[in-house]
Chains A and B, each alone.
Chain A
Amino acid sequence: MGGDKSSEDKTVGIVLVSHSAEVAASVAEMAKGLAGGAAGVPVATAGGQEGGGLGTSAELVRAAAASVDRGAGVAVLTDLGSAVLTVKTLLAEGDELPDNTRLLDAPFVEGAVAAVVTAAAGADLDAVEAAATEAYGYRKV
Chain B
Amino acid sequence: MVTTPVVGWTEQIARARLHVVTGKGGTGKSTVAGALALALATGGKRVLLVEVEGRQGIAALFDTQPLPYSEEKVASAPGGGEVRALHVDVEAALLEYLSMFYNLGFAGRTLRKMGAIEFATTLAPGLRDVLLTGKIKECVTRTDDTGRHVYDAVVVDAPPTGRIVKFLDVTKAMADLAKVGPIKGQSDGVVRLLHSGDTAVHLVTLLEEMPVRETIEAVEELDGADLRPGAILLNRVRPPRLPARSVTAAADGRVDASRVRAGLQAAGLALSEGVLDGLVEETVEHAIRVQAEQRAREQLAEIDLPAVELPEQVDGIDVGTLYELAEVLVDQGVR
**Do these two chains really belong together in a complex?**
no
